[in-house]
Structure 1
Amino acid sequence: MNFIEAIILAIIEGITEYLPISSTGHMIIGSSLMGISELDFTKAFEVNIQFGAILSVVVLYWKRFFQSFEFYKKLLAAFIPAAIIGFILNDFIDQLLESVAVVAIMLVLGGVILLFIDKFFEKRASKENITYIEAVQIGLFQCIAMIPGVSRSAATIIGGMFQGLSRKDSAEFSFFLAVPTMFAASAYKLLKGFKTGTLSFSENEIQLLLVGNIVAFIVAMIAIRFFISYLQKYGFKVFGYYRIIVGLIILGLLAAGYDLHVI
């Protein structure tokens, strides 16, 4: 991986992490198109730069992270389902991450859902707060996003709307929930790699990781601001169309015989 490829992947991560279009799916597609998806460092890089994206939420919403202990307890309640299921199914999830076809199919299916989700919730009254049980239920929605291409953001936002939250409040709760979820998942994979001796970084790779995290942090801050504003005005439909188009293009390339792992 060179610096241009690292910056491209970091931009993809920053843009897609908090939008309902699947960051994991886009990074799998992006690294495949650049021909670096099978490198061990690429997989570690994609995990590591999530820390930059996490930091963007903490910086943008730092006041919310100091508002009350109740805030943390509800985040913990929502985080527990993914922590348990992710730990149990870790190896199976890693296998799914190797499949561009799975990503493409889930992009299309998720896109179809987003086309109709606004109409489904348009007549529902919204509320500002959720109970602990509702937080756990949002956490269960998050578990669906362990399938690459689903989108953690989309799953948790829809989960929040099912619990009665507005689009804005659902999106912000999704951002907050990303902090413990992404931190735990990323830290677990990195620590596992270091412990087993399968993961180590050269000086050049450390520089790539530093640049990647900085770029992901900056781009994610911009993307979050854009997404909240856009979502309140226009809803999810454009993201649905985008997912369907990208998914169908990838499926078309695969059907035509292109091996996206070696392009």
Structure 2
Amino acid sequence: MNTLQAIIIAIVEGLTEYLPISSTAHMGFTAALMGLPESEFLKMFQVSIQFGAILAVVVLYWKKFFNFQDFNFNFYIKLACAVVPALILGKLFDDKIEAVLGNQVAISGMLVFGGFILLFVDKWFKNPKIDNEKDITIKKAVTIGFWQCLAMMPGTSRSAASIIGGMTEGLSRKAAAEFSFFLAVPTMLAVTVYSVFVKTWGEDTVTPMKGYEMILQDQEHITLFILGNVIAFVVALIAVKSFISVLTKYGFKFWGWYRIIIGIVLLIYFWNNPQSSTENNTSVETTMIQHK
């Protein structure tokens, strides 16, 4: 992976991480379309640059995360409880998720299926009762956390699953989207820390390594890691602010049609190019709670 390819993947991550269109799927498609061969560093890179996207939400909502004058202890309790289901179920279903990860045809199909769901979401939840995070109970937060687990299926989108879960609990579109952003911080932070400092990549190879060992392996990897996170951070800042505005005004239909159109196009491409559909295989830790 060269610098330009790393920049493109980081832009895709920043644009799609908080949108209901599956960042994992888009990074996988992008890598496959660029002809990048599967490598342990590429898989780790796609996970680690989530850190930049995490910082974007923390910066945009810093008063929520660091308001020590009016300390909201329940806010942190809710996030902690909501993230537990994904961490547990993600680990339990490691192997089954891994079996689907390299199949871009299946992931494209999930994009289309999820797109049709988004076309009708606004009609299903017309009368929201909650428009503020403080009105979300711990029980509702945990329920949203279980909805987030649907993103274990690659192509589903962590953002879409948790936002729809929030709306089933009576949250407005804006409140559901914002809580999805908040929930992404501990979720993706846990995934990133695990992937960089705990997980051993390439266990079946001659030189298995921790993520940080791959990053520190040479100057090029260090540069790509830093550059990827900086770009993901900047792009995510723009994407989050734009998404809230579009979602509040127009709802989910735009994203539904986007998923359907791009999913069909990619489905046709990967169906006719089966070798490309299995070249890139993103790690289970990414799709465990994301998708993305």
TM-score category by the smaller chain? over 0.9
* Matching of residue 159 in structure 1 with residue 170 in structure 2: no
Q: Does 1:247 align with 2:263?
A: yes
Residues 33 and 262 in structure 1, CA contact (< 8 A), matched pair in contact too? no
Q: CA RMSD in A?
A: 1.7
2:184 paired with 1:193: no
Q: Distance in 1 between matches of 2:23 and 2:270?
A: 20
Distance, in Å, in 2 between the alignment partners of 1:184 and 1:76 is 11
1:57 counterpart letter in structure 2 = V
| 2:115 equivalent among 111, 122, 134 | 111
The Cα offsets for residues 93-129 of structure 1, whole Å up to 9 and x where unpaired, read as 2332222122101101100000010111124444432
Aligned pair 1:51/2:51, yes or no?
Answer: yes
Given that residues 158 and 170 in structure 1 are in contact (C-alpha distance below 8 angstroms), is that contact kept between their aligned partners in structure 2? yes
Alignment of 1:64-213 (within 5 A): 64-67=64-67, 68-128=72-132, 129-190=135-196, 191-193=198-200, 197-199=208-210, 200-201=214-215, 202-213=218-229
Q: Say which SS state the counterpart of residue 199 (structure 2) adopts.
A: helix
Q: Which moved more, 1:96-105 or 1:26-35?
A: 96-105
User: Contact 2:128/2:171 (CA < 8 Å) preserved in 1?
Assistant: no
User: Partner of 1:221 in structure 2?
Assistant: 237
Give the whole-Å Cα distance in 1 for the aligned partners of 2:79 and 2:124: 26
Compute the displacement of 1:77 (Å): 1.2
* Cα 1:174–1:84 shift into 2, 3 Å: same
Question: AA paired with 2:31?
Answer: S
Cα shift at 1:195: 11
Mark the runs of 5 or more structure 1 residues left unpaired by the alignment: none
SS of residue paired to 2:57: helix
Partner of 1:259, secondary structure, is helix
TM superposition shift of 1:32:
0.6
Give the partner amino acid of 1:240: G
| Structure 1 contact 28–37 (Cα < 8 Å) conserved | no
Tell me, in whole angstroms, the C-alpha distance in 1 between the residues paired with 2:274 and 2:107.
Answer: 15
Cα deviation, residue 160, structure 1: 0.5
Partner of 1:27: 27
Query: Taking structure 1 as reference, are residues 262 and 194 closer, same or farther at Cα in structure 2, changes over 3 Å only?
Result: closer
Separation in structure 2 between the aligned mates of residue 186 and residue 179 of structure 1, nearest angstrom: 10
CA distance in 2, matches of 1:138, 1:189: 24
Go from structure 1 to structure 2 and tell me whether the alpha carbon gap of 1:31 and 1:151 turns closer, same or farther (over 3 Å shift).
Answer: same
CA gap of 1:195–1:112, structure 2 versus 1, over 3 A, is closer
Equivalent residues, number: 263
Q: Distance in 1 between matches of 2:142 and 2:128?
A: 21
Q: Does the 8 Å contact 1:50/1:213 carry over to 2?
A: yes
Residues 156 and 174, structure 1, Cα contact 8 Å, conserved in 2: yes
Contact 1:37 1:43 in 2 (8 A): no
**TM-score relative to the length of structure 2:** 0.86
Which residue identity is paired with 2:164?
I
- Provide the rounded CA distance (Å) in 2 between the counterparts of 1:211 and 1:39: 19
Shift of 1:208: 0.5
Q: Tell me: CA distance 1:37–1:60, structure 2 relative to 1, closer, same or farther (3 Å).
A: farther
Structure 2 unaligned regions, length at least 5? 281-292
Match of 1:41 in 2: 41
